[in-house]
């Protein structure tokens, strides 16, 4: 998949943190990528992606995506840095197909909104 640079990592103030936010350029959606304890094996970790509101808070209406599981604590730094360094390449991996489709949903933020009772000027 060539997304043409459709994913950008958002610069943050917390240097060295494992988690980071990425923005989808085409639809302006924000997603937080972070490691969490694996719900099936609490001694291990997994990579989780959470859709965020425009203000950067988790969007509670969207379930999180749970990805790679069974990571050891000593693998977290390398795994998260590889994802942060090139999120487009990470999303292009075959095992990320569903995540890629979810993140790159076209036109969500770009869809025009018309207040109730008003018509679009194109009508």
* Structure confidence at residue 123 (pLDDT): 38
Write down the domain spans for the chain. Answer: 7-103
- What kind and span of H or E run contains 24? strand 20-24
Q: What is the C-alpha to C-alpha distance for residues 119 and 123, in angstroms, rounded to an integer?
A: 7
Q: What is the pLDDT of residues 4-60, one digit of tens each?
A: 457 778 876 665 568 899 998 878 899 999 999 998 898 999 999 999 998 888 999
Specify the higher pLDDT residue, 68 or 46.
46
- CB contact set of 4 (below 8 Å; sequence gap of 6+): none
Residue in the block written with tokens 């979810």: 102
* Structure confidence at residue 15 (pLDDT): 55
Q: What is the C-alpha to C-alpha distance for residues 109 and 75, in angstroms, rounded to an integer?
A: 35
> What pTM value is reported for the model?
0.74
* Structure confidence at residue 5 (pLDDT): 59
- Number of Cβ atoms within 10 Å of the Cβ of 61: 7
């Amino acid at each position: 998949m060539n997304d043409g640079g459709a994913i950008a990592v958002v610069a943050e103030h917390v240097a060295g943190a494992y988690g980071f936010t990425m923005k989808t350029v085409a639809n302006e959606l924000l997603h937080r990528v972070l490691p969490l304890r694996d719900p099936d094996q609490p001694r291990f970790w997994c990579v989780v992606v959470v859709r965020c509101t425009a203000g950067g808070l988790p969007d509670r209406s969207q379930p999180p995506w749970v990805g790679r599981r069974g990571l050891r604590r000593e693998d977290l730094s390398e795994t998260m840095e590889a994802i942060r360094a090139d999120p487009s390449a990470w999303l292009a991996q075959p095992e990320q197909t569903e995540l890629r489709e979810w993140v790159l949903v076209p036109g969500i933020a770009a869809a025009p909104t018309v207040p109730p009772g008003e018509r679009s000027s194109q009508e």
